[in-house]
Structure 1
Amino acid sequence: MGSVNEFYSVEEFNLECKWLIDPKHLFVGPKIGEGAHAKVYEGKYKNQNVAIKILHKGETQEEIAKREANFSREVAMLSRVQHKNLVKFIGACKEPIMVIVTELLLGGTLRKYLLKMRPRCFDMHVAIGYALDIARGMEFLHSHGIIHRDLKPENLLLTADHKTIKLADFGLAREESLTEMMTAETGTYRWMAPELYSTVTLRQGEKKHYNHKVDSYSFAIVLWELIHNKLPFEGMSNLQAAYAAAFKNTRPSADDLPQDMALIVTSCWKEDPNARPNFTQIIQLLQHYLSTILPTKPVLSLRIFTSDTAVLPPESPGTRALMAKCDDSTETPTTPLENTPSGIFFCFNRCY
């Protein structure tokens, strides 16, 4: 059996000075998310509101090596991708513990926004506008050789005004969720490309033999959900949905979609990955479709709803999709940021 380093290819952590966070300027506030391997807090860095992800080191030598390797890969990826539709990376540090700092988005996750709206649906202009945000972020990731692998509403964050969507958790090792009594893997099955869920592939040890087109499939499911505001594969469990998609070629119904939109959605979730469009093509298809319906609405109305009800107010501050969905259970509040002692990493002993 090989060593831990042979299994996880742990490399020396080298962070450019411009991305190195000084812990003395970090102040930790309320916890807003939690996964099996990390916790996320609201905080401040040099008077800037941020999301602070604190990673657990692990107990065994193997766990420590694996999590350090994942941390290094995550930081390396975040530091090289900057785009208006990706959550902005601010910096990181490895000592005294592993910490990643990103911008704090106040609009919450797309998942929670959709749940608040039900049974209402987005106006088609709104749905396409959001879809273009997602597709542009994905196009940029793919241009840098990064496959998201976990595209779903929980990993899509909204700005405070709900006008822009940004991708989070892109290209990262999946974290097991501690909420909703399911693992992160189970939670992603509903949006998972069929080639990622195949007992034949797993038996042959080829689970990594897939390409960026897995994201096109997941995008199709998200787009369907944006339009219908319903859970895809409704009535099925997560595992049933994944099994039906992978082995029965089952998909959500596109019968009630306009013909051109149905073509976009169904082409993205085709069983053959090579037959799915890439995100450059997806953007072109969405822009063309948007141009065909724009005469009925002014461009500036991109964030209105079909209901007469006014746009919902922004959610409470939080970046729930930076890790898992935030548990709504009652938390013991931490000291407000304005009362945080200056020059220390506050509340590590109590909340980490």
Structure 2
Amino acid sequence: MNCEVEGGGDRNRRVDYDCTDGERPSTFEGDGSSSSSDELDMRVLIDPRLLFVGSKIGEGAHGKVYQGKYGDQIVAIKVLNRGTSPEEKSTLEGRFIREVNMMSRVKHENLVQFIGACKDPFMVIVTELLPGMSLRKYLNGIRPNKLDVRLAVQFALDIAHALDCLHANGVIHRDLKPDNLLLTANKKRVKLADFGLAREESVTEMMTAETGTYRWMAPELYSTVTLRRGEKKHYTNKVDVYSFGVVLWELLTNRMPFEGMSNLQAAYAAAFKQIRPTLAEDMPSELACIIQSCWTEDPNKRPSFDQLTQMLSAFLSKLSSPPVSPPSEAGMNGMMAIIPAPSARTGRKFSFFKQIFTAAKRPGSNKT
């Protein structure tokens, strides 16, 4: 997808939308639904007789995922639960329709490719099958070893590009975590999956609180007053930025966030005690600064994904530069070695790290 962005703010950007109907996506009102979004685009439906369901490869709260075939193509087939009561059936069908409509409209190389859907006899979503594995499984498999920092940052860039595209299209993912990130066959790139909790965003939107998975959830998804299940509250796409900060921390440390805590303890620590995972002393200062800017308490002070891709790209470019070999003692002839200074362009890019972190720590600042 060509997701062009102009300007630094989340609202002031020009986007080339890759939508099935060629139009800018609609926005949800109230609880994240509207009459247009409650209707399934019939053009995304595929013939269920062409589907062959194979072995189960995953299972979640709302359905199961199978490896299968659609015609001659190897695919992933997500079969969603239909529910039992009329109210539950209506809720699950609405979630299915929203997920299908968003996946079919928003396309990017770092988003799992949508192929089609079936509504009857089962609610089914068909996507490309990535032959790798989930980022969670991959990290667990190499533990206690860490990823090479270049690979970790490349993964982070892939994730940031995917979320920048979603946000440019007015979509909040709301459930960013390693389980929803899938590796390609060569295990060098990742793609974002699972739009089951995604919602479209409008300026006045009220959305369901306590959405997502506790260890990665932004503190604003909670309230100091316990919310009844299904109660609504204000939040923005900056909840994804917070989750991204936690995922980036995992990529660099290969540790579980809030180790030794239960899910609810982790949520309480982050939301009410402002506790965050510990930053390792050997973590590159630029990356530590990015992480801290992402999970700062005030959502308005978190960077956008457009800014994050620029910062991560600058850091990766710095890593890719050939190291300056120190001259031998004999070759120096008693003279001090001259180390080239960073270019003005690199200096400007990395000064942004400090600007963001300083703004995040300064009381009363509204800068992102």
User: Which TM-score band (shorter chain)?
Assistant: 0.7 to 0.9
CA shift, 1:205, in A, is: 8.6
Report whether the alignment pairs 1:23 with 2:52: no
The whole-number CA distance in structure 2 between the counterparts of 1:296 and 1:194 is: 41
2:181 aligned partner, one-letter code: L
Deviations 1:121-178 (A, max 9, x none): 111111100000000000000001110111100010001111210001136369xxxx
CA shift, 1:203, in A, is: 6.8
Query: Matched residue of 1:96: which SS?
Result: coil
Contact 1:214–1:273 (CA<8 Å) still a contact in 2? yes
Instruction: Kindly report which structure 2 residues correspond to 1:69-148, keeping only aligned pairs within 5 A, or say none.
Output: 69-148=94-173
TM norm structure 1 = 0.74
Aligned to 1:263: 289
Aligned to 1:44: 69
Contact 2:135–2:182 (CA<8 Å) still a contact in 1? yes
Aligned to 1:331: none
* Greater RCO structure (CA 8 Å; 6+ sep): 1
The whole-number CA distance in structure 2 between the counterparts of 1:151 and 1:48 is: 28
CA shift, 1:24, in A, is: 1.3
- How many residues align structurally? 281
Contact 1:28–1:43 (CA<8 Å) still a contact in 2? yes
Aligned to 2:3: none
Instruction: Kindly report which structure 2 residues correspond to 1:127-276, keeping only aligned pairs within 5 A, or say none.
Output: 127-170=152-195, 172=197, 188-200=213-225, 202=227, 207-256=232-281, 257-276=283-302
1:199 aligned partner, one-letter code: T
Query: Matched residue of 1:263: which SS?
Result: helix
Contact 1:190–1:238 (CA<8 Å) still a contact in 2? yes
The whole-number CA distance in structure 1 between the counterparts of 2:228 and 2:69 is: 47
2:221 aligned partner, one-letter code: L
Query: Matched residue of 1:79: which SS?
Result: helix
Contact 1:147–1:171 (CA<8 Å) still a contact in 2? no
The alignment's C-alpha RMSD in Å is 2.5
Deviations 1:12-41 (A, max 9, x none): 643243x22101111110111223432211
* Shift in alpha-carbon separation, 1:27–1:269, aligned structure 2, 3 A: same
The whole-number CA distance in structure 2 between the counterparts of 1:281 and 1:7 is: 27
CA shift, 1:68, in A, is: 1.2
Query: Matched residue of 1:222: which SS?
Result: helix
Query: Matched residue of 2:150: which SS?
Result: helix
The whole-number CA distance in structure 1 between the counterparts of 2:228 and 2:197 is: 24
The whole-number CA distance in structure 2 between the counterparts of 1:87 and 1:7 is: 23
Contact 2:197–2:211 (CA<8 Å) still a contact in 1? no
Query: Matched residue of 2:258: which SS?
Result: coil
Q: State the identity as a percent.
A: 62
The whole-number CA distance in structure 2 between the counterparts of 1:187 and 1:148 is: 9
Aligned to 1:283: 309
Q: Which sections of structure 2, spanning at least 5 residues, go unmatched?
A: 1-30, 200-209, 324-368
Q: Which region of structure 1 is more displaced relative to structure 2, 93-102 or 262-271?
A: 93-102
CA shift, 1:255, in A, is: 4.6
Query: Matched residue of 2:52: which SS?
Result: strand
Contact 2:173–2:198 (CA<8 Å) still a contact in 1? no
Contact 1:42–1:52 (CA<8 Å) still a contact in 2? yes
Contact 2:111–2:192 (CA<8 Å) still a contact in 1? yes
Q: Which sections of structure 1, spanning at least 5 residues, go unmatched?
A: 1-5, 175-184, 298-352
Contact 1:88–1:103 (CA<8 Å) still a contact in 2? yes
Contact 1:41–1:52 (CA<8 Å) still a contact in 2? yes
CA shift, 1:280, in A, is: 0.3
TM norm structure 2 = 0.71
The whole-number CA distance in structure 2 between the counterparts of 1:139 and 1:29 is: 34
* Shift in alpha-carbon separation, 1:235–1:49, aligned structure 2, 3 A: same
Contact 2:174–2:212 (CA<8 Å) still a contact in 1? no
CA shift, 1:72, in A, is: 0.9
Deviations 1:258-313 (A, max 9, x none): 2211111101110000000010000111111122222248xxxxxxxxxxxxxxxx
The whole-number CA distance in structure 2 between the counterparts of 1:173 and 1:186 is: 10
Deviations 1:57-77 (A, max 9, x none): 222211111111111111111
Query: Matched residue of 2:82: which SS?
Result: coil
